[in-house]
Amino acid sequence: MKNTETVFVCGSCGSRAPKWLGRCPSCGEFGTFEEETREEKAAEESVNAPLGGALQSLNDVVVGAEDRILSGIGELDRVLGGGLVPGSVVLVGGDPGIGKSTLMLQALAALQKKGLDTLYVSGEESAQQLKMRSMRLGAHDLPILILTETYLKEIRRAVEERRPSAVVVDSVQTMYTEGVASAPGSLTQVREVAARLVHLSKRTGISFFLVGHVTKEGAIAGPRVLEHMVDTVLYFEGDRGHAFRVLRAVKNRFGSTNEIGVFEMKDSGLSEVSNPSQLLLEERPLDVSGSVVVPCMEGTRPILLELQALAAPSSLGVPRRVTIGVDSARVSLLVAVMERKAGIQLAGHDLFINVAGGIKTDEPALDLGIVGAIASSAMDRTIPSDTVLFGEVGLSGEIRGVSQVDIRLREAEKMGFRKCFLPASSLGGGTGSKEMSLVGVRTLSEALKLLLG
Ligand code: TYD
Ligand code: MG
């Protein structure tokens, strides 16, 4: 008799059931159950890494200075929490074509240049394709080890034989391992492959980057199941039509999760952007209606974003609300508040909102900017181009305070802005700005009156 076990696993939360279910009883998602068949032998092998778990008392545990590996790519090191931790597993997710492979090859090239041995395992591209990419990046004469392989056993053999310091597996969805009946890319395979790679990493102290494609819903295939197995999860985001790329940490066992790294995709690969505000505001049209600048926080970094709104008379019964880069539900909410609390009628208008540069953000501080941009376009009045604004808008039309006011103001001042509308409650208390005039606002209608007259 064959020792196999069949269970059904939810692709969203990982819960198990003995039979197929249309809706997951634990996370409520529909159609996420997938059949999983595996042999018992394989199940034993994929246990989590042994951590040398001797019983000890917490006050006896000695913490040495973590010896992190700095790649020299500052934006990447920052997102990792100050460099790569040896023996850690980093999942790098993102849409196809966004630049994951490019980033990974550049990271390995940087490490290789520092004298560390690296290995690039590709299940998607041939050695020639990798060579061609490395030529664009100027990394073609580095002795980075290349392995085009999708069978995990071969990868493990290569890793154990050569013992590199860092390994890229591109992508985890193309890899397969024995003992799992389902096809590469299926939830079961991806999870099993990842579990074994994590095990290998912990056992050898080698750092792994696992590249993962993102599904249509915006999650890495086998999403949460994979995310909780690895140490760090990074998302590489951006709009393919724009050169701007943002690397964001969504989970990090070795650092903060709200750091971002900013890159620009050029002909010769990704280059670091140390002053994103400047790049983002470069193409800003001055003194036009519907355009505002908002100092946003991305982790510990301030970034000035240009928000654009266009309100155009609609010929549709239900006017369109199209948003790019901001949450459309949030915009609907703000539109309702504008109509009810500030008397601006938008029911007959199609609304289009865009964050310039292909950036995505969901910071509440953006609210006042969204409202300002929509009102500016709908009333066809401009907001002076030396003015920035930020603040959260509440359902009764009140403007609520936000955090890190000083950092936002400093960034705006540095970029040459001279006036800022901000929540009245955020005024005072250290918000000393020499060259900016600060206008505290309490309600939405007050803010719009002062902004647009
Ligand atoms: P790639 O790293 O292959 O994306 P992913 O692995 O996430 O699918 O990058 C794909 C895009 O990047 C491709 O459209 C070409 C572009 N690119 C550049 O613009 N400059 C470069 O130097 C390189 C290597 C790629
Ligand atoms: Mg790729």
In angstroms, rounded to a whole number, what is the distance separating the alpha carbons of residues 120 and 198? Answer: 16
Pocket test for ligand 1, best of 122, 240, 265 (most atoms within 8 A of CB): 265
Instruction: Check if 93 has its Cβ closer than 6 Å to any atom of ligand 1.
Output: no
Distance CA 190, CA 326 (A): 31
Q: How far is the CA of 102 from the centre of ligand 1 (A)?
A: 6
C-alpha to C-alpha distance for 419 and 435, rounded to whole angstroms: 9
Mean pLDDT for the stretch of residues 228-251: 89
According to DSSP, the residues that pair with 289 across neighbouring strands are 382
The alpha carbon of 202 and the centre of ligand 2 are apart by a number of angstroms equal to 25
Task: Identify which ligand lies nearest to the alpha carbon of 99.
Answer: 1
The encoded tokens of residue 71 equal 């790649």
d(CA 447, CA 434): 22
Residue 181 Cα, ligand 1 centroid: separation in angstroms? 33
User: Which of 24-33, 108-117, 183-192 is modeled with the greatest confidence?
Assistant: 108-117
Q: Supply the pLDDT for residue 253.
A: 92
pLDDT of 425: 92
Centroid of ligand 2 to alpha carbon of 335 (angstroms): 40
- Buried b vs exposed e over 22-55: b needs ≥16 C-beta within 10 Å? eebeeeeeeebbbebebbeebeeebeeeeeeeee
Mean pLDDT of the chain: 88
pLDDT for the residue 114: 92
Amino acid at 342: A
Atom of ligand 1 nearest to the CA of 125: 3
CA distance 40 to 421: 64
Atom of ligand 1 nearest to the CA of 96: 8
Q: Which ligand is nearest to the CA of 134?
A: 1
**Average of per-residue pLDDT across 107-126:** 95
Compute φ and ψ for 61, nearest 5 degrees: -75, 125
pLDDT-wise least confident of 29-38, 49-58, 268-277: 49-58
- Residue 40 scores a pLDDT above 50: no
Percent helix, strand, coil in the chain, to 5, is 30, 30, 40
Query: Lowest-pLDDT range, 42-51, 112-121, 285-294?
Result: 42-51
For residue 82, how far is its CA from the centre of ligand 1 (angstroms)?
25
pLDDT over 70 (residue 45): no
What is the tens place of the pLDDT at every residue in 50-88?
Answer: 556 678 888 888 776 668 999 989 999 999 998 999 999
Per residue in 363-419, pLDDT tens?
999 999 999 999 999 999 999 999 999 999 999 999 999 999 999 999 999 899 999
Q: In this structure, what are the phi and psi dihedrals at residue 386, rounded to the nearest 5 degrees?
A: -100, 15
Instruction: Give pLDDT, residue 219.
Output: 65
Among residues 31, 371, 54, which one has the least CA distance to residue 217? 31
pLDDT-based confidence at residue 188 (cuts at 50, 70, 90): confident
Classified as helix, coil or strand, 152 is helix
Place of tokens 């908002």: 294
Ligand 1 atom closest to residue 104's alpha carbon, by position in its atom list:
2
CA of 246 to the centre of ligand 1 (A): 14
CA–CA separation, 156 and 328 (whole Å) = 45
- Is residue 268 in contact with ligand 1, taking CB distance under 6 Å? yes
DSSP symbols for 259-326: -EEEEEEETTEEEE-S-HHHHHHTTPPSS-BTEEEEEEEETTEEEEEEEEEEEEE--SSS--EEEESS
Tell me how far the alpha carbon of residue 240 lies from the centroid of ligand 1, in angstroms. Answer: 10
Pair type for strands 166-170 and 207-213: parallel
**CA 128/CA 119 separation, integer angstroms:** 16
Residues 6+ apart with CB under 8 A from 259: 78, 79, 81, 248, 249, 299, 300, 301
Residue nearest to atom 25 of ligand 1 (CA): 269
Q: What is the pLDDT of residue 41?
A: 47
Interatomic CA distance for residues 413 and 419, integer angstroms: 9
Q: How many angstroms is it from 99 CA to the middle of ligand 1? A: 4
Burial 262-286 (b: 16+ CB within 10 A, else e): bbbbeeebbeebeebbebbbeeeee
**pLDDT of res. 46:** 47
Cβ–ligand 1 contact at 196 (below 6 Å): no
Contact 101 CB / ligand 1 (< 6 Å):
yes
pLDDT score at 400: 96
Q: Is the shortest distance between the CB of 138 and ligand 1 below 6 Å?
A: no
Closest residue CA from atom 22 of ligand 1 = 269
